[in-house]
Each structure stands twice: as C-alpha cells, then as structure tokens.
Amino acid sequence: MTEPIHDLAHIAHAELLTPFPQDSLRFFTDLFGMEIEHREGQSVFLRGWGEYQPYGLKLTEAPLPGIGHIAIRAWSPEALKRRVAAIEGAGLGEGWSDGDHGHGPAYSFRDPDGHRFELFYEQDRYVPPEALRPRLKNVPQRHVDRGASVKRIDHANILAADVAANRRFATEQLGYRLYEQVVLDSGVESGAWMSLSIAAHELIYTADHAGKSAPPARLHHLAWFVDTREEILRAADLFVDADVPIEAAPAKHAVAQGMFLYVYEPGGNRVEVTTGTHFIFDPAHETVRWSQAERARGQAWGNKTIETFHTSGTPDVSGAPPGPPIPPTSRIPAL
Amino acid sequence: MTEPIHDLAHIAHAELLTPFPQDSLRFFTDLFGMEIEHREGQSVFLRGWGEYQPYGLKLTEAPLPGIGHIAIRAWSPEALKRRVAAIEGAGLGEGWSDGDHGHGPAYSFRDPDGHRFELFYEQDRYVPPEALRPRLKNVPQRHVDRGASVKRIDHANILAADVAANRRFATEQLGYRLYEQVVLDSGVESGAWMSLSIAAHELIYTADHAGKSAPPARLHHLAWFVDTREEILRAADLFVDADVPIEAAPAKHAVAQGMFLYVYEPGGNRVEVTTGTHFIFDPAHETVRWSQAERARGQAWGNKTIETFHTSGTPDVSGAPPGPPIPPTSRIPAL
Amino acid sequence: MTEPIHDLAHIAHAELLTPFPQDSLRFFTDLFGMEIEHREGQSVFLRGWGEYQPYGLKLTEAPLPGIGHIAIRAWSPEALKRRVAAIEGAGLGEGWSDGDHGHGPAYSFRDPDGHRFELFYEQDRYVPPEALRPRLKNVPQRHVDRGASVKRIDHANILAADVAANRRFATEQLGYRLYEQVVLDSGVESGAWMSLSIAAHELIYTADHAGKSAPPARLHHLAWFVDTREEILRAADLFVDADVPIEAAPAKHAVAQGMFLYVYEPGGNRVEVTTGTHFIFDPAHETVRWSQAERARGQAWGNKTIETFHTSGTPDVSGAPPGPPIPPTSRIPAL
Amino acid sequence: MTEPIHDLAHIAHAELLTPFPQDSLRFFTDLFGMEIEHREGQSVFLRGWGEYQPYGLKLTEAPLPGIGHIAIRAWSPEALKRRVAAIEGAGLGEGWSDGDHGHGPAYSFRDPDGHRFELFYEQDRYVPPEALRPRLKNVPQRHVDRGASVKRIDHANILAADVAANRRFATEQLGYRLYEQVVLDSGVESGAWMSLSIAAHELIYTADHAGKSAPPARLHHLAWFVDTREEILRAADLFVDADVPIEAAPAKHAVAQGMFLYVYEPGGNRVEVTTGTHFIFDPAHETVRWSQAERARGQAWGNKTIETFHTSGTPDVSGAPPGPPIPPTSRIPAL
C-alpha cells in the first residue's frame, strides 16, 4: 500500500473560452452574480462571493468555446515541486511561466487528452473594495446576491477519448482520489469522479462521445457552488425569466448525490449550479463503481439523464453554429 | 349565529410615512427588492414582484414616521356598499374620495384608535414594462431578486390603546375573522390577529404600551411575504452586510407559526419579512386565546420576545431623534 | 355582474378506494406519515398533522382503485342550504344522509361526470390523544414527522369526459372560482383549476384521455400539502429508499406555480406531495387561459410533462392488473 | 515554513457519558434519529444515516455526564505511526490497546487538559441490514428520517483551562489546522476552531469558565451534521413538541458561519445539530482572529450569545443535580 498523496489543494480557477465575450460576461455578472475583479488583454477575471482567492474564473475571448486551462493550487512549495517532478516523469510537462494576474510562478502541463493545466503555490488573497467589504471578517466578500449568486467554483468536468488513461494520470501523478466511476459492460471506463479533498468531486472525466475523432481537450461543464438547494430552485426561476437555456432542471444526481441545474452560457459552454454533494471522510474509501445498467436507471429520483448530456461538449463537433445548442426559452432580455 | 361576512378581500396596499424619504426609498428598492411603479407628489408607489395590483406600498414623505393609511379592497361593488353602510352606522366614516393612483373611488374611515383606512373595489391590474415581463403568464412580474426580494405585502400590525374596541370594530363592521388573541391576567386584551382569508393574519392590533397618553394611530410594523424560510435566512445575511438594523433575527412565532425577521427601515419604521404561517380552513374556527403566562414563554422555539418589540412603535414617544431606534450594525454602505 | 358566492369553505376530506387496503394503509402511515384516527367497516380514517378536522382521508377497501367521494364543508348552515338548493336545481342532487364518522348530516350529489360529492357543515374538531398533544395550542397535533409527513389534504384532481360542463357546475352551483384553465386549439377545455379560497387550486378537472368510453368519475390524483419545498426534496429521497414508484420527480408546475412530487400508492392511485403555489388575492381575478402551445412547453423550468400524466387515471382503463402502473424502483421493503 | 501535516483524517467517533443511559438512548434514537448498531457492556454504539463507519457515537453509562474519549482515524498505517511518535515525544501518550468494536488497534493519549483521545487506522465499513439497505450504492444506509435525522458526527467542542496549550498540541502534534480563534483583550486565547479537512471545524477548544478549579477534560458539546438549514428548523419544531430543552434556537454562528441548534440530551450533555459552515480551501489560510469586542457583538445575525453557553459544561461544577441544566419545555413524552 502506497501512502496517499496530499500535495495539491484545490482548483484555484479555470479559464473558460467564449466566442461571445460580451454576452458571456453579462451572463456571469448579471445571472451568475459574479464580480469583475480584473480585466487584462482578452480576459476578464471573475469571482464568486465566497472565494478567498481573487478570482475563480478567467473568461477569455476565443474563436471557439471550451476550456482554456485549469489551475490547481499546491499545498506548499515543496508539494509543488514534488508534483512537477511527477508530471515531468510522465512526460506531460510543458514548463514554468511567471504566473498570471493574482498568482505566482506556474508550471504548465497537459493531461493525456490534451487539456491544459497549471500548478502553482503562490496565490494572492482577495482584498475587497469598500463597497464589497463584508460585515464578518471570516467572509471574503460582501454577499451581494445577484441572480444565482454563486459562491465559488466547485468542479470541472472535462471530456476524454480515454477516461481511464486520464484518470490514472490524475490519481497517480496529481494525487486525486477516485471516489466514483462508471464502467460500461464492455469494460470501458466512461466516467471518473475525483477529488483532492472530502468534497465529492473536484475533477471529473467523462467519455467524449465523439471518441478519438473529436478534437482533444473538450469541456463538458464547469460548476459553481451555492450553499443551499433552495438557491438552486431559485436560480431556475430566475434563469427562466432571463431567457437562459436550461438543459437540465433542478434535480439530484445519483453519483455524488449533488443537486444540479445545468444551463448554457451565451458562449455555448455548459455550466452548472450545484450544491449538496456528500463528503468522503473515509481515507480508505473504496471507489464506488457504477455499472451500465445502474447508470441507465437515471438520476437519484429516477429522472432520466438528459440526452444532450451525453452528446454535447465544447468546442462543438456537430457543425452547428457557435452558441448554446438549445434555444433560449423566451425573448426577455436580461436586466 | 350570524352568517359570516365575506365583503372585503385583502389589504391592497398600505401607506408608510417617512421623514427620510430618499433613504427609505433606497431601502425598499435595494434591500427589500421592490420596484418603483409610480411617483406622484411626495409619494413613491412600490411593488413586490408577486403583486397583481400595481403597488402594495405607498411611501410618503412626512415629518414623522408611521402609518398613513391602510387600503382594503372589497369583493364587489355591492360588498363595498354594505361595508360603507356598516362603518357609517358605527359613526367612523369620513366619506368618499375619487381614488388615488391605481384604484377607483375610495371610502375613508378611521378605526376607534384613529388609524386611517380606505375601502375601494376598482383596482388597476399591473402591466409590467418589457424589462419586467415574466416568462409565465400567471405571474405578474419577472422575479428580479434583489435583496430580500419581497413578493407582496402580507399584513399590518398597528397599535391601539384599546385593542378590544378596535378588534370588535374590525370583526363586526369590516368582517375580519379573529383567529388568535392574547388576553392578560387582568382581562385586558393585548393582541388580536385577524384575517379576511385563510391567511393566518392580515390585520393585527397589539396594545400600545404608552396607552392613552400616546398619540393615536401608531404603527407596530408592516410585513412583506417571501415564499420560503430560506429566503428569510438569506435576507438576514444580506441585511447584516448592508448595515440594516436587525431587531429580531430569523425565528418562528408562536402565534400563527410564521417565520419572521424584523428590521428597521431608515425612516424609523419597523418592517418584517415573513413566511410560513399556517392557514385557517375551519369556517367555525374557535379563536386561540393565549394567556399572559403562555406568552411569557416566548416564541415557538423558546426565543424570548425582543423587549423593544413591546415598547417601540412609530411615531416614537420616547423623545429620541427620528430614525431607527437601534444602531446600525456596521458602517458599510448599501450598494 | 353577479356577486361572488362564498358558501363553501374547503375540501374537508376525500375518500380513496384501494384494492390493496393493507399496503395502502402502510403507505399512508409509514411513508406519508399520517395518523390513523379511526377505523370503521372497510374504512380507515387518516389525518395529516396539521388538520383541524379529525381526518382528511377516508381510505376504503374496494375492488378497484379510484375516488370514493369528496366532502366539502360549508361556511354556515344557511350557506349549506343555499348550495343544496342550487344543486337540486341543477338536477344532480342525491339527498341527505345522517353523516359519517366525524361530521354531521351530509348532502350527497354527483358532478356531471358522475363523481360523488358530499356537502356538510357540522364538523368535529380533532382532539389529540396525549401522545400526539402539541406543545403550542394553535397547532392541532404534535408534528411527529414520519416519511413525507404531510400536513393536510390540499386538492383533488379528477378526470372528466367534458371538463367544461363540470367546471361550469363547480363554479355556478358550488361557487368555485376558476383561476386557471387550458383550452386546446380545437376550443375544447382540457383543464380547469378552481378554488374556494386564496389557495391556487382545491378542485381540478382535467380531460379524461379515454373520453366518453372511459368509466365515469375517474381520479387523476389527490394531493397533500407540506410547508416547504425542502420537504418535497426530502420526500423524494425517502420514497426512493422505500421503493415507492415515482412518476414525476420534484419540480415546479407552470400552472399555479406549485412544487410537486407524484408517486403511486400501492392501491394504484396517483398521489402528490405539493407546496408553494401562489395565492390569488384578486377578487376580480381574470382566469389565466393557457393555450395548447403554451402547455406543450412543459413545466415551469422546462421539464417535459410526464407522458403517463396524460394517460393514466384510476380506475385504470388499459386492462393492466391492479396496482401502480409503473414498477417500483427497488426491492427494499418499507420499514 | 514547515510542511503541512496530513496524517489524521477525521473524528471517527466520540464516546459520550451519561448517568441516565435509557433516557439518553431514547433521545439519540427517537429524536436524533440514530440507529443502534451494537451493544456491548455499558455502551450502545449509534450511527447517523450517512456514516461510512459502523458508528459515530459510543454512548456509555457513567456516574457523571461528559466526554469519554474522541477517536480519530489516521490516513494510513504510516501516518498513524508518525502521530504516535509525535505524541510520545510530547509525553502525553498512554499506549496501545487492541481496539474496540468496529476498529483495530488504537493508541490512547490525553490532551494537556486531560481529555482522552484514541488514534487508529483500521476501521470496519458499515454493512447495513436488509431493512436499512439504501437504494443507491454510494450511500451507506437507507435514510429513514426519524426526528432530527442526523447524518454524521460533525465536531467536538471541549473545554480547557488553557486553550492555547491544547491548541498548540492539536496543531503541532496532531496536525490540526487552526482556522479561527478568539483572543481576549488580556491576550488570553479563549477559543480555537480547528480542522483536519476543508470542513470549518472538527475539534474546538473553548475556555472552561471555571478555570483550573474545574475538573479537567470537560465537554462543551458534540455536534451532528444535517444536510440543510431547513432540517435544523424542522428539528427545532420536533424538539419543542418532544419536550427537549432547547438552549439556543436555530440561528447562525459568526465563527465558521454554521447554522446551529443547541439542546440538552437527558444525560445533561449539550448537543448540537449543525450545518452550513463554510469550507476552507486555502492551504495557507491565515487564522481569523476575533477580538473580545467582536465576539461581544453576538452571532452572525446579531443574536446575543446565550449566557449558559459560556458557563455550562459536563460534568457540571455548579452542584446542580444531574440532568439538563435548563427545564424541559413541557410535559409531553417522546413518542
């Protein structure tokens, strides 16, 4: 038995690409309720009200939607060095950069599917402007509550032609723990839910339905956390009125037991509002392995899994024009 | 046994007086989340997102805070005439006016304590501007969700030197049903919770501690409804961050079982965010009579009733300067 | 303009028929959390914790599932007489009986589709045994909280070959108010949501898909109220673990805005746990009329309406064996 | 900068002492909703529905109430050895035992204040009996939902004459992270909130008001987790009806932002139902230090901290007869 790895702490931020940056920005500020923390080049840095770090989302203009990179913070400088060595040993490293707005030197690498990641340790702590100063000193920012009012980035679900290969890399080189997985009757692993903490999932790989013919490194969705299930129900109400395309109305996942709401942001990326997953306290947790038949039963309350959930990712491979793959529900403009 | 009276439908709106109209207006729009529907003279007409009528609050500049008038809508033109006749019979009528913004001819009267009321039947129905148009046609307005995001005016609690006399007027002349009351060991009635519908209370009289020496017609509080208890907890979080003076943090009333949150708006009036009261379906409901000892036990979960709840009303009689009687919690400005 | 009728107060109870009385009883006690108040003949009388009347459900053994009768309480003895006269005038009366357990003389009649109803005024008030005595005197019963822990019967949705004819009878002879309706492109009325109070619906007629070939007087569902949406989410969790067939997982209706959870009780009847509908305070409420296209858009958050919702009722007309039309989710016995 | 310690995973269970074992057992099963997993000697082993381990509470008969021991599970056999060495180096070790029901060899030690702890790695995984088998394989037990229906043990708050000394031991020898603390104007540390994970607190030390004259190793409270704030409000309702002495009605802590409900179990120990604390993802989290003045402002929404919260612990030092220090709210027996 090898000792568990405790070198990486959490996803500090993710970079989302959008071909419609103005619309996407309005979505994340007005409807997700995030604050603009910084602008630089083609990017806007956005934060949920509960993030200690300056931002959890880097929104960047690009020809196609998808995931730019995922940035993971290490537990310590030494821990960072250990993980960099492991990644280099796997032949997937791409080298150091000086860092970006809000954090220090970062080591860049790609997972086997080609998604770009960064590791760093030095991270600025958010200092709110006066108007966003909270009343209680253990809260990073005043809770303004606009739209869904997301608290912090929660997890990333990325697509891979070979889930097992990427899952092995994440667990062996990065130290992720594999809490749940789906293994099809064919023996192919089609989903892996992994975490660096007691949170039920922080990094998820699911099978890219387009397989090896798809462009590599596609995104399934990014998810943001809210504190209560009521906030998710409320978000659905607000999204309906604001013409946000809802892909999956609020319900409960079987895997990890989380409450979900899936929508498309104007750039065409699927984003989730989530809460309520269970915690994994067992240091010797046995991976929960779901069979094809078990997955076919649907979500926790029997809701069938939405079909597009299996077929849609960004960038798109269907040849559809850019933007959300399902039509908006109405013609009402966001306020 | 006399037949029940079914002539009045509900409180259509209430007029609140404030010596600090700009601050009060900002409170009701930014922190209670109401929309400005109209401005006229020294008044601003404000609405919760769930009100079918154009507004539920008329906010009027005045030298002292307190209640301007309470406007009750009748079930029909004939029902209106019957109630007017009954009030005139009691010698408390003041005559007809042409109406006000959003409603037709109104009959004015005063309760025995001197609070001014109006009765009318003709009421405009709210027509939202495009930006506030809801997605679903059975909802009057888009749910924007700003601050507490109150849905509609719920009830008025007014003070009276003689609760019993006012309660008798309300039940006998207006047709209110007395659902719950407090009778002190002395036999004096110190509180009466009344309704025109299955809602647990729409008009409440409680004893004015200053008795006959107080100016008549004082206000204890006006209350606005939200759909869930979670919204009340959330409102408390938002109010703390926005420097709103909280008089009573979220908890549950014994009387009527409602969840409450009491704060002071900048004009000095106590206002409540409420939800969750029980419904009274029994057409022969026996009034629940609480004794002095039972009331002394506190609220539903044993919370002691806040002392200022018994002593403070508007206009104030203590000689304190105008404004909220308790200090704000911090110096953070509202956004 | 005719004056509104205010003669009937609410559905005091409903009688549900079941071919599997032991299983149905265990469902309503263990999983809906109701208390057995009385047993008599082939019937068990059951109550939710918040009902002032002794019971809201009379569960009766019968060869086929379905609705036995719906009992409506009048506002007064005089009001009762007025409604009886109106029903007799419509030629649908069936005469008086001495009453049943818990209530006084009742007048029996059938709606145009043949559903049996009773009207009465005299109603016993529930007196809890010591073990169920509540702490607060304005609550009828200790809140024990078992399973879904339903509070009270909320509404009945019954099927009719001719919705319009039944809706006219209910509004004109009984005094129901028509709050919302569905009118198909053909001009046929396929749904009518009616109430005696500010509650959004108490009696609903929807079109029996089998039309005139179906046996008359079928049931779509009975619904019970809980106070919060969280209780509905929790009920879904409990029902999954208890092998209750879930037809529609928790979500929000477009019509009336209520949160729902639809399941089948072991007798084969559809039952709902509901909360959160809006209130109709407008005494001159204009009926909200939904078109076929609007209904096709699904529920409030875009959930598609479950197909069996349109095709299944009790008694069944498909020739299937008695019992729930959809298989239970697992083989775990109820505790 | 030293590297963070990641050797201990979580509090696997705690042992609570009670002089009234039958009453305490009925409380934890009927009102907290726990299951009896095992009985042995003078102890009953109880579990919340969400615990992967067989039990989280060992309830043991004893002359006086208080805490028996706190059992912490290590991340690995090697991690266990490292912590044992550190504790032995601090001179507080007491040696190995063969383990107890449900877990393997355990190393016993005392904190500077004298509280007994155990460390172990080998832990049985719960296998539910058929009646408690859950529907979903990633849930350890069917969610039966009885009373508060606690999910798992969350944290222990223990009293110490010298908080700083105990906090130093916990952080330096055990590897706890200090997330928040209270430092009085005198410089004395009066509270320390520590964790082994992103959970806001798992082990809390607060100052024993009786100082060095008190018996050592007293308990402030044990806390159990539920998933939602609504469950805490519901628990308060159920506890009121069940005559449970409520010390602090539901509200929100300033420290760690958790929702709380404090009651006394029949043995006289304070127990909490909790949820909603924030998570600490920052690996370099700077301890939030609260001043005396800040603490005097009360809880998050301004609720004053309950006086007995500062003065009461178990075993009692006031000479009062054993049992809850505040009277029950009524005479209604638990079902």
Encode pLDDT of D257-271 as tens digits. 999 999 999 999 999
Model confidence at D327, in pLDDT bands (50, 70, 90)?
low
Work out the average pLDDT over B230-242: 96
What pLDDT, in 10s, does the model give residues C114-159?
Answer: 999 999 999 999 999 999 999 999 999 999 899 999 999 999 999 9
Which residue has better confidence, D289 or A324?
D289
Three-state SS for C169-197 is HHHHHHCCEEEEEEECCCCCEEEEEEECC
CB-CB contact of D115 with D96 (8 Å): no
pLDDT level of residue C272 (50, 70, 90 thresholds):
very high
For residue C120, the chain B residue with the least C-alpha distance is B283
Give residue D32's pLDDT: 98
- Distance in angstroms (rounded) separating the CA atoms of residues D71 and D87: 15
Q: Tell if the CB–CB gap between D335 and C131 is shorter than 8 Å.
A: yes
What does the angle CA D288 – CA D290 – CA D294 come to, to the nearest 5 degrees?
A: 140
For residue D183, give how far its alpha carbon lies from the nearest alpha carbon of chain B (Å).
Answer: 21
Comparing C-alpha atoms, which of C237, C273, C265, C272 is closest to residue C325?
C265
Write out chain C residues lying below 8 Å of B278, CB-based: 50, 138-139
From the list A180, A197, A198, the residue facing D138 with the nearest CB is A180
Percentage of the residues of chain B whose pLDDT score is greater than 70: 97
Mutate to test the interface with A, among D83, D123, D138 (most CBs of A within 10 A): D138
Which structure tokens are listed for A248? 């999956």
Best C247, C301, C304, C308 residue to mutate vs chain A (most A CBs within 10 Å): C301
- Higher-confidence residue: A321 or D117? D117
What is the pLDDT, as a whole number, of residue D215? 86
- Give mean pLDDT, residues B307-321: 88
A20 Cα to chain D: minimum distance (Å): 31
For the complex shown, is ipTM > 0.90? yes
Q: Contacts of residue C229 in chain A, CB cutoff 8 Å?
A: 230, 233
- Per-residue confidence (pLDDT) for residue B331, from 0 to 100: 37
What pLDDT does residue D335 have?
A: 43
Residues of A in contact with B241 (CB under 8 A): 134-135, 142-144
pLDDT of amino acid A80 = 98
Residue among C49, C127, C136, C151 with most chain B CBs within 10 A, to mutate: C136
Residues with Cβ < 8 Å from C41, sequence gap 6 or more? Answer: none
The answer to whether the Cβ–Cβ distance between C251 and A251 falls below 8 Å is yes
Q: Which residues of B touch C229 (CB under 8 A)?
A: 228
pLDDT band per the 50, 70, 90 thresholds, residue A47: very high
Predicted local confidence at residue A117, as pLDDT: 98
**pLDDT for residue B32:** 98
Within an 8 Å CB–CB cutoff, is residue D281 touching chain A? Answer: yes
Pairing assessment for the beta strands D66-74 and D93-97 based on DSSP bridges: unpaired
b/e sequence D194-218, b meaning 16+ C-beta within 10 Å: bbbbbbbbbbbbbbbebeeebeebb
Question: Which residue among D282, D284, D300 places its CB closest to the CB of A136?
Answer: D300
Instruction: Show residues of chain C in contact with A233, CB under 8 Å.
Output: 229, 252, 259
* D136 contacts on A by Cβ (under 8 Å): 254, 257, 300
pLDDT at C211: 83
Q: Which of chain D's residues have a Cβ under 8 Å away from the Cβ of C228?
A: 230
- Is B142 close to A241, i.e. CB distance below 8 A? yes
Helix (H), strand (E) counts: chain B = 6, 17
How do beta strands D106-110 and D43-47 pair? Answer: unpaired
Q: Is C39 helix (H, G, I), strand (E, B) or coil?
A: strand
* Contact residues, chain D, for B246 at CB < 8 Å: 301-302
User: Which of C9, C138, C254 faces B281 most closely, judged by CB atoms?
Assistant: C9
- Percent residues over pLDDT 90 in chain A: 88
Mark yes or no for CB contact C237/A303 under 8 Å.
Answer: no
Substitution target in B81, B282, B301 with the highest count of C β-carbons within 10 Å is B282
Q: How many CB pairs under 8 A join A and D?
A: 109
Contacts of C329 in chain D (CB under 8 A): 135
Half-sphere exposure of C203 (CA within 13 A, CB side): 31
Asked if residue D315 has a cis previous peptide bond (ω within 30° of 0), the answer is yes
Asked whether B207 and B117 are in contact (CB, 8 A), the reply is no
Specify the pLDDT at position D1. 59
- Distance from the A76 Cα atom to the nearest Cα atom in chain D, whole angstroms: 7
Q: How far apart are CA D295 and CA A176, in angstroms?
A: 39
| Chain C residues closer than 8 Å to B290 by CB | 137
Rounded to whole angstroms, the Cα distance separating C197 from C176 reads 8
* A322, pLDDT greater than 80: no
Q: Does B293 touch chain D (CB under 8 A)?
A: no
Express each pLDDT in B133-179 by its tens digit.
999 999 999 998 999 999 999 999 999 999 999 999 999 999 999 99
Q: How much is the pLDDT for C1?
A: 59
| Token pair 């006229």 in the structure block, residue | B40
pLDDT digits (tens, 9 = 90+) for D163-190: 999 999 999 999 999 999 999 999 999 9
Residue of B nearest to C51 (CA): B281
Q: Is B327 on the interface with D (CB under 8 A)?
A: no
Instruction: Nearest by CB to D143, from C136, C241, C333: name it.
Output: C241
Q: Which of the four pLDDT bands, split at 50, 70 and 90, describes residue C328? A: low
Residue A311: the pLDDT is 86
Nearest to C301 among A249, A300, A301 (CB): A249
Q: Say yes or no to pLDDT of D221 above 60.
A: yes
Q: Band of the pLDDT at C285, cuts 50, 70, 90?
A: very high
Indicate yes or no: CB of C4 within 8 angstroms of CB of B3. Answer: no
Q: How far is A303 from chain C (nearest CA, A)?
A: 7
Contact B329 A228 (CB under 8 A): no
User: Is the model's pLDDT at A275 over the cut of 60?
Assistant: yes
Q: Which two tokens stand for residue C218?
A: 């079928």
C-alpha C297/C-alpha D283 separation (Å) is: 47
pLDDT(A333) > 90: no
User: Is the Cβ of D151 closer than 8 Å to some Cβ of chain C?
Assistant: no
- pLDDT for the residue B215: 86
Tokens of D212: 């060095």
> What pairs with residue D260 in β-bridges?
D251, D274
Q: Does B281 touch chain C (CB under 8 A)?
A: yes
pLDDT of residue C318: 84
Contacts of B330 in chain A (CB under 8 A): 135
Give the model confidence (pLDDT) of C199-255 as tens digits. 999 999 999 988 877 888 999 999 999 999 999 999 999 999 999 999 999 999 999
Confidence of residue B1 (pLDDT cuts 50, 70, 90): low
> What strands lie across the sheet with C93-97, from one edge to the other?
C35-40, C43-47, C57-61, C8-18, C66-74, C116-120, C106-110, C93-97
Nearest CA in chain D to C240: D135
pTM score:
0.96
Name the average pLDDT for chain D: 94
Arithmetic mean of pLDDT over chain B: 94
Cβ separation of A52 and D282 shorter than 8 Å? yes
Q: What is the pLDDT of residue D328?
A: 56
Q: Is the dihedral of CA D228, D233, D239, D244 positive or negative?
A: positive
pLDDT value for A327? 62
Give the residue on C whose Cα is nearest the Cα of B75.
C283
Kindly give the residue spans of alpha helices, DSSP state H, lying in A254-322.
292-296, 308-311
Q: Which of C77, C138, C300 sits opposite B136 (nearest CB)?
A: C300
Nearest to B302 among D229, D246, D302 (CB): D246
| Residues of chain D with C-beta less than 8 angstroms from the C-beta of A274 | none
**Chains with ≥3 CB–CB distances under 8 Å to A:** B, C, D
Residue D125, chain A, CB below 8 Å: the answer is yes
Does any CB of chain B come closer than 8 Å to the CB of residue A284? no
Contacts of C79 in chain B (CB under 8 A): 3
Residue in C closest to D30 by C-alpha? C144
pLDDT band at A306 (very low <50, low <70, confident <90, very high): confident
Looking at residue A107, its pLDDT comes to 98
Q: Does A155 touch chain D (CB under 8 A)?
A: no
Q: Give me the pLDDT at residue C327, please.
A: 62
What secondary structure, in 3-state letters, does A239-270 show? Answer: HHHCCCCEEEEEEECCHHHCEEEEEECCCCCE
Contact indicator for D290, D255 with CB cutoff of 8 Å: yes
